[in-house]
Chain A
Amino acid sequence: MDATQAHDHDKHSDSSHTPSFYWKVAAILAVITIVEVLITLLHIPHPILVPILLVLSVLKGAGVVMFFMHLRGDRPPYQLMFMMPFLLAVTFILLFLNLFSEHVGIAG
């Protein structure tokens, strides 16, 4: 693939979104944020609250990455360059939390 095709692809992947589309995405992200804050005030048990908040947070993050950063529909090398470290980071977070979440041995 040459430079011309590359830029044609970039133009195509970006130009499909209009300003009104971005306003709608932002409105959805704002609603998710409001829901996140409201459900923390409902005194939901922690084991139920945490997964709900994590799912909402992932939805918000996915919205930003896919539509504002235009990673959805972008070239695979760009996607790979972000998704590989991201998945590695999530794996490390889960592993470390599993290993150390109840560990207080260094508390002194």
Chain B
Amino acid sequence: MSAPTTTHGDESHAPAHVAPAHPSVGSLGVDSRKLGVWAFIGSETLFFAALIVIYLINVPVNMARADAQDPKELLGIAFTSILAAILLASSLTMVLALAASKRKDMRQFTIWHLATIGLGLCFLGGQVYEFTHLYEEGLTLSSSMLGTTFFVLTGFHGTHVAIGATWLFATWLKVRKYPDSPENLMDIELAGLYWHFVDLVWVAIFTLIYLI
């Protein structure tokens, strides 16, 4: 377990030249765990950019092949618009959970935090339904270049949603078991950063893959 990340008591009077009181706050004055999560999110940005560009540059390749499948015919926007709304709503509930935890309102925190997990699970259920429907329509992982690139991209995103929901649930269990831990606020914020990133990726996928 890492060190506390909030300031308490006489630490507020510590002179600037003294080493940081919290091991997780480095010489730059930033929390190393938060910096690490931002670095992780930065690397994930490049990861998803690679998957998106692979999908996009293979669109004309797919259409030129004998086994071509037209994304305009197969990928509907009505259902995925609902999925986009669900993930957007989950970002709102996540930030409301963080705000409640800063106010030390544990009841509101629990409601919004669990709502975020619930919405994440709804998204995953919707994605399973969409994948099943597409398989029945003939779009599979090996049916065409479209199927391969589409399922790899959206499948990886769905995996990230599942990991995010697990992370949020683990955070909730920890905060529930140790409600007075000074680390809780940062734990919630870090899980929230990851969750918002997952929403951010869907913003890009929704526009670039489904709408354009």
A residues with CB within 8 A of B: 1-10, 14-15, 17-19, 22-23, 25-26, 29-30, 33, 36-37, 40, 49-50, 53-54, 56-57, 60-61, 64-65, 67-69, 75, 77-78, 81-82, 84-86, 88-90, 92-93, 96-97, 100-104, 106-108
**Contact across chains for A37 and B28 when beta carbons are under 8 A apart:** no
| A-B CB proximity, top 9 nearest | A1-B29, A89-B49, A85-B42, A57-B207, A107-B64, A104-B64, A6-B29, A100-B57, A81-B38
Q: List 25 A-B contacts (CB under 8 A).
A: A1-B28, A1-B29, A2-B15, A3-B11, A6-B20, A6-B29, A7-B6, A18-B99, A19-B96, A22-B96, A26-B92, A33-B88, A33-B206, A37-B211, A60-B203, A64-B91, A68-B94, A68-B95, A68-B196, A68-B199, A69-B192, A75-B30, A90-B49, A101-B56, A107-B61
Roughly how many angstroms separate A60 CA and B66 CA in the complex, as a whole number? 37
Write out the residue numbers on chain A whose beta carbons fall within 8 Å of the beta carbon of B16: 1-2, 5
B77 at the interface (CB under 8 A from A): yes
B122 at the interface (CB under 8 A from A): no
A3-B20 contact, Cβ under 8 Å, with A89-B46, A107-B61: yes
Contact of B81 among A37, A50, A77 (CB under 8 A): A37
Contact of A89 among B45, B100, B196, B199 (CB under 8 A): B45
B residues with CB within 8 A of A: 5-7, 11-12, 14-16, 18, 20-22, 25, 28-31, 34-35, 38-39, 41-43, 45-46, 48-50, 52-53, 56-57, 60-66, 77, 81, 84-85, 88-89, 91-92, 94-96, 99-100, 102, 192-193, 196-197, 199-200, 203-204, 206-208, 211-212
Roughly how many angstroms separate A54 CA and B52 CA in the complex, as a whole number? 14
Chain B's nearest CB lies how many Å from the CB of A49? 8
**Contact across chains for B42 and A36 when beta carbons are under 8 A apart:** no
**Contact across chains for A7 and B5 when beta carbons are under 8 A apart:** yes
